Structure 1
């Protein structure tokens, strides 16, 4: 366990455009909104404007973080930008943001292409960098605009995914906060179960082919089989058991997924946190946004042991335990 590392400085940004289920019901009267809503637990989503990108959302999350915690851009030692909807295949969005945010020219700027497990796995990268004494702090910036890849007639994905960004500063301090040992997982056999074909060099780059495809049942089966195993490994790697954890914060996939996981693992529902109803599935941003909301709602207090676990696209998984 890495003592003296804190991620309590978290801010986020949501686009101005809010899309409610009532609005979708008006646009698509033939859709069974109630049935999907019951499974997802999502009542509204945030949708970026046509000219608003992940880089734009990330920039705003950083501005919010700097203002809320009175930080100066020049104080940042490293910037990790996590997104599966970057502005360009190249150059890296992290390099563009370094200039836009007026950060030092001496920082490490790095893009990480990960979705649902992106925050946890990037936290592992940042934690390792701090422990190596290469840096004293790291800005972990997640930003996603999945809406740009969703077909307007997609009855499932359109009701799940929400655009958002989050900015989290991992830093060394003298507090009792800490980051535990990490556990990871990857099964590339599931790569094509959640994919945007035509979005890279392998495929013909025709815009009309760049649409999000998700095999929900296959991902659900993977989640229910592998997440409990990874969670148990995380507890064992940190010398803890289920009763030692004060709060579980899962990737905010859907209500159905979270309910089934709690039932299978044996987690009491009052020990989990979810903000799906108002935020939707914000992919890599979901865990940091949930941590921030749980703290603001006083469901997460200093000293709590929080188990966070990301899972999904890739397939990719990551988990650790934080002492808040």
Structure 2
């Protein structure tokens, strides 16, 4: 068996209220935006901070918990669309910065909103195969940097944050048993959620650097919504059937915190209550691949989980890609003090 041994997160202290965006964009209505997105304020990294910095802070919190010593880490997966550099891999920089042994395999994974669950699947596969024993997964994003502040469809959504998770063979003190994963990809929809500027393809098309190559996120909201509604339910049903549990045995459906509107529609489609399928993004925003670890960490600290609880995690978005993972919670369910 493979376990989620520990989990820690970092969310920047700074928040930007939606009213500030409305002040910059006459005609925008704050309450309408909040009602549709479920987001009143977004967490934003400081100008000098990168996704790697946020991931470092999350990982340091994990180590500070005493769950594992650094020399025992033999694998590191850093998942982000906001690397420090094109080369080297940010995971290599974090291996050194975190003081992990040089025997630690380190690699980057570039996936968006499905990235955390994809990373759990990859880490679990490495542990199951015997190739690694203790893999540190870091999901971190500074998507807010890609947003045009006049683009209503993106700048009102995306915030910054990071989560760190330990995937291990060691059951002692573990938070959860990691079950199966259902995952997939439909690259035909890649254009619906994309950052074109700043990379090799934009350079060949634009003829070099310039305004056209600046990295900006573009999203076709209706297409992403249609993809999500068409994909999530079927994949969750497939996962539950594969894991040989009943739908009504799943106590927690933890979905990527995309937007309030989308999550409301998914809850209705899935026949779930607010308690079963929480929306908890009002004060952080859509933190992309970090949204699931942040959600799990916040709910855990409120004492929402009990030993024996079945939960499913659903990551979906950029790619287009998706990965749904089953966890069986092992911790006793006591609330944990919130961290500053």
TM-score computed with the length of structure 1 as normaliser: 0.95
**Offset at 1:208?**
2.8
State the match for 2:298 in structure 1.
Answer: 293
State the match for 2:128 in structure 1.
Answer: 131
**Offset at 1:321?**
0.9
State the SS of the aligned residue for 2:3: strand
State the SS of the aligned residue for 1:97: helix
State the match for 1:179 in structure 2.
Answer: 178
**Offset at 1:161?**
0.5
Cα distance per residue 1:137-193 (max 9 Å; x no partner): 110001101111111212221110011111111122235842212111211111011
State the match for 1:272 in structure 2.
Answer: 277
**Cα gap change, 1:75/1:170 in structure 2, threshold over 3 Å: closer, same or farther?**
same
**Offset at 1:76?**
1.0
State the SS of the aligned residue for 1:281: coil
Please give the alpha-carbon distance, in whole angstroms, between the structure 1 residues aligned to 2:263 and 2:66: 32
State the match for 2:59 in structure 1.
Answer: 62
State the match for 1:206 in structure 2.
Answer: 209
State the match for 2:332 in structure 1.
Answer: none
User: What is the aligned length?
Assistant: 321
State the SS of the aligned residue for 2:163: strand
Please give the alpha-carbon distance, in whole angstroms, between the structure 2 residues aligned to 1:164 and 1:207: 29
Does residue 93 of the first structure (1) align with residue 93 of the second (2)? no
Does residue 143 of the first structure (1) align with residue 148 of the second (2)? no
Please give the alpha-carbon distance, in whole angstroms, between the structure 2 residues aligned to 1:73 and 1:250: 31
Which 10-residue stretch deviates more, 284-293 or 177-186?
177-186
State the match for 2:319 in structure 1.
Answer: 314
**Offset at 1:253?**
0.4
Given that residues 39 and 256 in structure 1 are in contact (C-alpha distance below 8 angstroms), is that contact kept between their aligned partners in structure 2? Answer: yes
State the match for 2:338 in structure 1.
Answer: none
Does residue 20 of the first structure (1) align with residue 23 of the second (2)? no
Cα distance per residue 1:181-232 (max 9 Å; x no partner): 2111211111011111123111125353321101111000010011111111
Given that residues 185 and 230 in structure 1 are in contact (C-alpha distance below 8 angstroms), is that contact kept between their aligned partners in structure 2? Answer: no
Please give the alpha-carbon distance, in whole angstroms, between the structure 2 residues aligned to 1:241 and 1:217: 32
Please give the alpha-carbon distance, in whole angstroms, between the structure 2 residues aligned to 1:252 and 1:292: 13
Please give the alpha-carbon distance, in whole angstroms, between the structure 1 residues aligned to 2:161 and 2:91: 17
Given that residues 198 and 206 in structure 1 are in contact (C-alpha distance below 8 angstroms), is that contact kept between their aligned partners in structure 2? Answer: no
**Offset at 1:44?**
1.0
Please give the alpha-carbon distance, in whole angstroms, between the structure 1 residues aligned to 2:167 and 2:210: 37
Please give the alpha-carbon distance, in whole angstroms, between the structure 2 residues aligned to 1:312 and 1:81: 18
**Offset at 1:78?**
0.6
**Offset at 1:70?**
5.4
State the match for 2:196 in structure 1.
Answer: 197
State the SS of the aligned residue for 1:279: coil
State the SS of the aligned residue for 1:269: coil
Unaligned runs of 5+ in 1: none
State the SS of the aligned residue for 1:148: helix
Does residue 250 of the first structure (1) align with residue 250 of the second (2)? no
State the match for 2:227 in structure 1.
Answer: 222
Please give the alpha-carbon distance, in whole angstroms, between the structure 1 residues aligned to 2:150 and 2:319: 25
State the SS of the aligned residue for 2:78: strand
State the SS of the aligned residue for 1:219: helix
Cα distance per residue 1:70-108 (max 9 Å; x no partner): 543222111000001111121100001111111100011
Given that residues 273 and 294 in structure 1 are in contact (C-alpha distance below 8 angstroms), is that contact kept between their aligned partners in structure 2? Answer: no
Which 10-residue stretch deviates more, 262-271 or 118-127?
262-271
Please give the alpha-carbon distance, in whole angstroms, between the structure 2 residues aligned to 1:64 and 1:95: 19
**Offset at 1:39?**
1.0
Please give the alpha-carbon distance, in whole angstroms, between the structure 1 residues aligned to 2:44 and 2:294: 16
Cα distance per residue 1:233-277 (max 9 Å; x no partner): 111111122101011100000111111111112223321122111
Over the aligned positions, Cα root-mean-square deviation in angstroms equals 1.6
Please give the alpha-carbon distance, in whole angstroms, between the structure 1 residues aligned to 2:26 and 2:327: 45
State the match for 2:267 in structure 1.
Answer: 262
